[in-house]
Amino acid sequence: MPLLTLITDIGEKDFLTGAIKGQLLRYQQDLNIIDITHSLSAFNYPQAAYVCRNAIKNYPIGTFHLILVNIFDENPEHMLLAEHNGHFIGCADNGLLSMILEETPQKVVSLELEKLNQKSTLFCTNVFAKAISELNMGKTIEEVGDPVVIKEKSALKPNISDSHIEGQIIFIDNFENVIVNINKIEFEETRKGRKFSIVFKRDEIIDKISESYADVPEGDKLAFFNSAGYLEIAVNKGNAASLFGLQGFSEKQHSLQQQYMSSRLVYQSVKVFFE
């Protein structure tokens, strides 16, 4: 039974997520559809890349991943289908694919869309469903699509020097724990055994890495590396994002804040200083 994961930014309040699954099953009734999330923030590429990258890598080789995120960033003429490290990824040609993979996909083709006045999410889903069905019947990716040069966006990376790392908040989870785009390898390579201070909201400091929430008393802040290997800031049985005024980084919001200087001060970055 072929596996397909579904990741979208459309929410679950109306019929659309159910209709997407119906479109997919019309082409292949034995498709095992697994919901990852439908709650990604609109237009937030760093958040989407973090969630997609760290979900996809846990699935078996041969899994299909349908990512319907910001698919109408522009009026699309085609969708993308990539094959990378044994996984198949379908998404819009909006730069997200390169952010997820953090490299050029091994194989990628375009799935052409008919020139209609209005293209809907279900219309695009139907195009993906047809291609996935053809792959499951034995066709190669080159046989179901056309050659394409994709749009690329660089993954959001921390600013690293010998004395400090400045990272951006890329995700805030359901408990308002804050994930920063500093991974454990980068941290340890830059640290070189030195003492450090994790600084956010001007004067909030953490100077040790914990193993679990229970390492600090209830209500205290802590930092640790999560299961994806990224730096996470939390409060034991508390809500770090609200308490410290921390907000996930997005290019759109960052640009607007620079232009208009929002009256509500929020913080989208975290710095680690090494002694």
Quick one: pLDDT at residue 262? 44
pLDDT by 10s per residue, the chain, length 275:
899 999 999 999 999 999 999 999 999 999 999 999 999 998 999 999 999 999 999 999 999 999 999 999 888 999 999 999 999 999 999 999 999 999 999 999 999 998 766 689 999 999 999 999 999 999 999 999 999 999 999 999 999 999 999 999 999 999 999 999 999 999 999 999 999 999 998 789 999 999 999 999 999 999 999 999 999 999 999 999 999 999 988 755 544 444 444 444 457 999 999 99
Q: DSSP string spanning 138-194?
A: T--HHHHSEE-PPP-------EE-SSEEEEEEEEE-TT--EEEEEEHHHHHHHHTT-
Tens of pLDDT, residues 204-221? 999 999 999 999 999 999
Quick one: pLDDT at residue 252? 56
Quick one: pLDDT at residue 170? 96
Gap between the Cα atoms of 196 and 218, Å rounded? 23
Domains of the chain plus CATH, in order, are 3-147 (3.40.50.10790), 159-274 (2.40.30.90)
Q: Which two tokens stand for residue 7?
A: 């990741």
**Which neighbouring-strand residues pair with 108?**
82
Main-chain dihedrals φ then ψ at residue 271, nearest 5 degrees: -115, 145
Quick one: pLDDT at residue 193? 97
To which H or E segment does residue 102 belong? none
